[in-house]
Structure 1
Amino acid sequence: MTGAAKAGFGVYLHWPFCRSKCPYCDFNSHVREAVDQERWRAALLAGLEHAAEKSGPREVTSVFFGGGTPSLMPPETVAAVIDKIDALWGLAPGTEITLEANPTSAEAESFAGFARAGVNRLSLGVQALNDEALKFLGRQHSAAEALGALELARAAFPRLSFDLIYARPGQSPAAWQAELAEALALGPEHISLYQLTIEEGTVFHGAWRRGELILPEEEAAAALFEATARQLEEAGLPAYEISNHARPGAECRHNLTYWRYGDYAGVGPGAHGRLTFDGAKRATREHRAPEAWLDLVERQGHGWRQAEAVTPEQRLAEMVMMGLRLTEGISRAALQRELGAGPEELLPAERLQQLAGEGYLEVDAAGLRATAAGRQRLDALLGYLLG
């Protein structure tokens, strides 16, 4: 299999609306009392047509409905989008079609409708398995609702993933280990585990600056990361990416397209894409504000605000930043495909040797990868390697 084929071709759809804004969230999500579903459906379909005109013939290997809260979309809109993608590009056999959802009772009622629309993988934003933590995180569901939603999702979809947030204020290693054991007892094939971080512009950022929110110290957070990786490995869900664990074969194919630096179309407010056309790999970006995006699509047929060629230097930086998140690392085939050379020719040889000697990197015939120690310190490693 070639590097290009291995990366696949994905389509990302961004639904920007939520019932409420979580205090830790810096995603492009907005609360609106009412949404004109017909206008939004027509605009998403128009955006797909424009992306297909630019990309040319492709075969889609994954579709991802992200947000925001895509489970607030009517199943009819999801079905129309999937049908349009199939008509424009064609869906490969077994195409992974993921939709992100919240576990509130109202949204869980739509699961069967999403499955009939063609969604075959649900990503459920559980975030925590106790009510006190869920309240702190600003979630609108209870732990009981989360467990009920997981049962409904398991019955409706052949594939299921859910998220948890850890390294919360005051969370002891023992408490997290117990919560994680409870999650593993649910038998997940894929689980995403994110350390709580403070993002600028969020409610938590203001509380942190005022000293009202204190996160674990760096050493304590690192110990939690290591213990989490061990616990998941022992349970048969090894890390295939820094924050993502899966049983072999259950990895998220769409996210692998990002991390393996494949092409993907991004449609919806603020959506990014990487598309190769007119002889260059291009970074596309759509207008961020929902109403402005909708108006732009209705006036000009698409919401693009940018479609700039990605320079070789930018492609190298992006490949390294994305690929070293993966346990498998960056293949030589991918580097050859994008840049026509191997890691030794593209990156400072002395820095590669130093990082390899210190046990943070491995360079061999397969390619370049960060060790477990390197992935734990990835920001510092990237700063040194690309600086």
Structure 2
Amino acid sequence: MPSALPLADPAPADGLLPASVADGVNDRNFGVYLHVPFCRVRCGYCDFNTYTSDELRGAKRTDYAGQAIAEVALAGSVLSGLPHRDVSTVFFGGGTPTMLPATDLAAMLAAVSNTWSLAPGAEVTTEANPDSVDAAYLLELAAAGFTRVSFGMQSAVPHVLATLERTHDPARVPLVVEWAREAGLDVSLDLIYGTPGESLDDWRASLEHAIAQRPDHISAYALIVEDGTKLARQIRRGEVAQPDDDLQADMYELADRLLADAGYEWYEVSNWAKRTEPVATDTVADPITGGESAEDLAEHRSRHNLAYWQGHDWWGIGPGAHSHVGGVRWWNVKHPAAYAERMLAGVSPAAGRETLDAETRRVERVLLGSRIREGIAVRELTASGRTAVAGLIAEELVDPRAAIRGTIELTLKGRLLADLVVRRLLAED
């Protein structure tokens, strides 16, 4: 049976990287991702690398912060030969990072800061479930240097949350948002649409509930049924319906309209940031949107996620975490017990890695860059890709004014069909 793992080179036990990663290093930002793989329950739709207490096989949550700090030290040693870069962004994801004590998250952040130092104004985010934090916890995070919290709201409708197997009460969302605000944290709310049994009116209710909290940032992701999940098995057995593509398209259009009306601008296909008030009276309107320029939205965008989409560098800490530095990509062993063994032995937890050639890096720039508001340069395309642009404009998938300026930017219709656009742009000569 073929392996599900990417084709890769062996990862050296010392984690050392080839000298080539130094090429252009000062042109790339550096971020750190810390994966906390623990969840109280496993949601039926989730295929992330997460573990409930009965799946840990001897690994202990109480030991995890120390193990992650050990990998931070390893990363600092491996990267010590490169020019120093402050850390621009830190992101704690999961799993549910806030299942750990706030003191553990603070210690992990302190290790990052002590190893590289945080850039002035660095963005430091943790994901959290609405039922996994209280006011005191959020105050402790803010005091430790966190600047942002992303709550997994998903829906405001009880029967939708039940299908997703989310455990929080929708009434708790306003409370945690208020507590985060009082702690001085920026707030993002994550939503999922297209859950089996969710109507367009259900989705409208969730959007309106999220908007009413006035978060700085909202993510809205279409539910994808991943092989191997409980939800996929339920659909296969006919217990719940397959998500409806046409309904999901209607939901996306509704989200974009309501969010725009509420003062949010899309900056990536599934992400919207609150518009900021112009600082100067002579602010120039964006020639495409007629509103603020992309730079005016930067304050509330997820800068960490943008670094992924723009091909910058990051080191992923923890079981199953992926990293990318200078065209070298690697991924850690997945299970917390295997990760703990590697860290106890003082060797790299990397399971495999690959060095991306120039063409692969170009393809990834097109694949990821086309999803963000600024788009990609036409010069990134092959001759066949450039030839496809005229047809994409004719089908109203790509903005013609941007194309004249030499960039490929998606229209609303193009965002709905982003995968199709990318396939056309990457057509072989």
Q: TM-score, normalised by structure 2?
A: 0.81
Q: Distance in 1 between matches of 2:135 and 2:225?
A: 29
Q: Matches of 2:25 and 2:309 in 1, distance apart?
A: 12
Matching of residue 383 in structure 1 with residue 428 in structure 2: no
Q: Is the 8 A contact 2:194 2:244 kept in 1?
A: no
Question: Could you give the per-residue CA deviations for residues 45-72 of structure 1, whole angstroms, max 9, x where no partner exists?
Answer: 1211222333332221100000010011
Aligned to 1:314: 360
2:127–2:149: 8 Å Cα contact kept in structure 1?
Answer: yes
- Whether the 8 Å contact between 2:157 and 2:202 is mirrored in structure 1 is no
Counterpart-to-counterpart distance in 1, 2:65 and 2:347: 13
More divergent stretch after superposition (38-47 vs 199-208): 38-47
> Which of the residues 129, 147, 150 maps onto 1:123?
150
What is the 5 A alignment of 1:197-346?
197-247=224-274, 248=297, 249-276=299-326, 281-330=327-376, 342-345=379-382
8 Å contact 1:16–1:68 — kept in the other structure? yes
Taking a change above 3 Å as real, the CA distance of residues 106 and 230 of structure 1, as seen in their structure-2 partners, is closer
Give the strand-richer structure, 1 or 2: 1
Give the length in aligned residue pairs. Answer: 372
Output the CA distance in 2 between the equivalents of 1:67 and 1:42.
17
Aligned to 1:339: none
Percentage of matched positions with identical amino acids: 35
Offset at residue 146 of structure 1 (A): 2.5
> Which residues of structure 1 form unaligned runs of 5+?
333-341
Moved more, 33-42 or 116-125: 33-42
Q: Which of 57, 63, 73 is 1:49 aligned to?
A: 73
User: Is 1:146 aligned to 2:146, yes or no?
Assistant: no
Q: Say if 1:105 and 1:145 are closer, same or farther in 2 by CA, change over 3 A.
A: farther
Structure 2 residues not aligned, in runs of 5+? 1-23, 275-296
The 1:304/1:262 distance shift into structure 2, 3 A limit, reads same
Indicate the larger mover: 78-87 or 213-222. Answer: 213-222
Map 1:63-82; keep pairs closer than 5 Å. 63-82=90-109
Out of 346, 349, 358, the residue aligned to residue 386 of structure 2 is 349
CA separation in 1, counterparts of 2:27 and 2:405? 18
CA-based RMSD of the aligned residues comes to 2.3
- Local SS of the residue matching 1:348: helix
Distance 1:268 1:319, change over 3 A: same
Once residues 107 and 317 of structure 1 are traced to their aligned partners in structure 2, the CA distance between those partners, rounded to angstroms, is 43
SS at match of 1:219: helix
- Corresponding residue of 1:370: 410
In structure 2, distance between residues paired with 1:310 and 1:239: 30
Deviation at 1:347, TM superposition (A): 6.1
* Aligned-pair CA distance for 1:197: 1.9
Residue type of the alignment partner of 1:324 = S
Evaluate the alpha carbon distance shift between residue 347 and residue 285 of structure 1 in structure 2; reply closer, same or farther with a 3 A threshold.
farther
Deviation at 1:180, TM superposition (A): 1.3
Check conservation: 1:23, 1:138, Cα contact below 8 A: yes
Decide which moves more: 136-145 or 284-293.
136-145
Deviation string, structure 1 residues 185-236 (Cα, Å, up to 9, x no partner): 1111111112222111111100111122214532222122112111111111
Q: Deviations over 1:139-175 (max 9, x none)?
A: 1211122332222222123311111222222333233
Indicate the SS of the match to 1:370: coil
Structure 2 CA distance for partners of 1:123 and 1:159, relative to 1, 3 Å: same
How far apart, CA to CA, are the structure 2 residues paired with 1:350 and 1:258? 28
| C-alpha distance in 1 between matches for 2:26 and 2:129 | 32
Describe the shift of the 1:104–1:12 C-alpha distance in structure 2 as closer, same or farther (beyond 3 A): same
> In structure 2, what is the equivalent of residue 155 of structure 1?
182
